[in-house]
Amino acid sequence: MIASRGANESVSRVLTIEKWLQERGAKATLNIGSGGTTWGSIRLDRQHTNRVTVRGDAAHLPFADSAFRGATLTDVLEHLPAGSEKEVLREIRRVLYPGGWLLITAPNKSRHMEWFDPAWWLLGHRHLSLTELEEMVESAGFSTEFVGSTGTALREIPLVWMVYAVAFTNRMVGREVFHVPQTPADEISPDSRGYTAFLVASKERGR
């Protein structure tokens, strides 16, 4: 396995990302906004945890040009201030090798998925469509390799609510007492019907 998962990380989305990284043979990679995940040679986040190796800001990455073969930005882009995405994506592009890749996931944008997302109601949690993601990466100088989605709404929406309930309960108790049940990895489909938008882009050589 590439990564171990915390109590609230063991949902199908994370397993799907891990499977994709294994198949890609990911090496010398940067995990941006890593949170509780542990894939990546370097794991960067603004908040310090025992899984974060570097504290930093995605808009001002503390790395040299062309330092990484690949990068992941999983469920991070939707948390950035609207309009700042291009700046962050250009900064990621700067630290990638020519020919390097970027994997992005985000909650897929559709009305029923937004309605059933508790964070959309409570916090204004954004969802991004496949078209929006593709436009963002290409405006930052990337080329899109693949865009699609993963996860069915019927399974993922109850899991999202369960993740929030478990996180809230564990916080109230003060330790990890409850865990989200593990679910199998999903297939990545080249359509827009899945709960999670999934995009792979690359930094073209010579650009």
pLDDT, tens digit, 9 for 90 and up, residues 17-76: 888 998 888 788 999 997 778 899 999 998 877 888 999 999 999 999 999 999 999 989
Indicate the Cα dihedral angle 77, 79, 83, 87, nearest 10°: -50
- In tens, the pLDDT along 152-187 reads 665 666 666 666 677 778 788 887 766 666 666 677
Q: Using CA atoms, how far apart are residues 162 and 135, in angstroms rounded to an integer? A: 32
pTM of the model: 0.80
Residue 189 CA neighbour count, 13 Å, CB half: 14
- Assigned token pair, 170: 């564990």
pLDDT higher than 70, residue 123: no
Largest CA distance in the chain: 53
Q: What does each C-alpha distance from 94 to 18, 34, 73, 86, 137 come to in angstroms?
A: 24, 19, 15, 12, 13
Radius of gyration of the chain (CA): 16
Average pLDDT of the chain, as a whole number: 82
DSSP label of 27: -
* Distance, first Cα to last Cα, the chain: 34
Q: Which residues contact 21 (CB under 8 A, 6 or more apart)?
A: 2, 29, 39, 72, 103
Q: Residue 71: its pLDDT value, please?
A: 97
CB 45 within 8 A of CB 57: no
> Residue 102 in 3-state DSSP?
strand
- In tens, the pLDDT along 85-109 reads 999 999 999 999 999 999 999 988 8
- Assigned token pair, 5: 């998962």
Domains of the chain: 12-202 (3.40.50.150)
